[in-house]
Amino acid sequence: MKTTTRVSRRRFPLAGVMALVVGAAVAAPQVQAEEQTQAEDAAREVREPAEVYRQVCAHCHAPQYGVGPEITIAFPEAAWEARGNYIRMTVRNGRAAMPAFREAKISEAELDGLIQALVSGELDDAPVADASVGEE
């Protein structure tokens, strides 16, 4: 197989070039998509953890709504990594009644920040909505 390939490349140098071109064309959309995602990430402003929590999580998890359990209570530092992995998995894959959130909704950078703020208890008692919401 190896020999055949080498011989045919030497005899038809164009074939090798064509293979490269075709290969590049096939690979291009994938690469483009990745570059686009990265570009979007870079262009998009990274929201503060409190902002992400308020916009995406609070309307289910804040105690006054109570759709999901409270998630803002601090964990002991020794458990941050395990708890963080669990939160990441839950957010990206969903869990029972909780939907999954892909990167278009929460970027990796935002999720990193959100996780840190959640496990450290920084978001405990964070404002959960615009001042008008929840006031009857």
Residues of this chain that interact with ligand HEC (CB under 6 A) are 56-57, 60-61, 67-69, 71, 87, 90-91, 95-99, 101, 106
Coil, strand or helix: which one is 20? helix
Least distance from ligand HEC to the Cβ atom of residue 62, Å: 10
Residue with smaller CB distance to ligand HEC, 9 or 126 = 126
Q: Which candidate, 10, 121, 29, 5, places its Cα nearest to that of 74? A: 121
Residues classed as catalytic: 97-98
Question: With respect to ligand HEC, which residue has the nearer C-beta, 71 or 128?
Answer: 71
For residues 44 and 30, what is the distance between their CA atoms, to the nearest angstrom?
A: 21
- Residue 47 Rama label (left phi>0; alpha psi -120 to 50; beta): beta
- CB closer to ligand HEC out of 63 and 69: 69
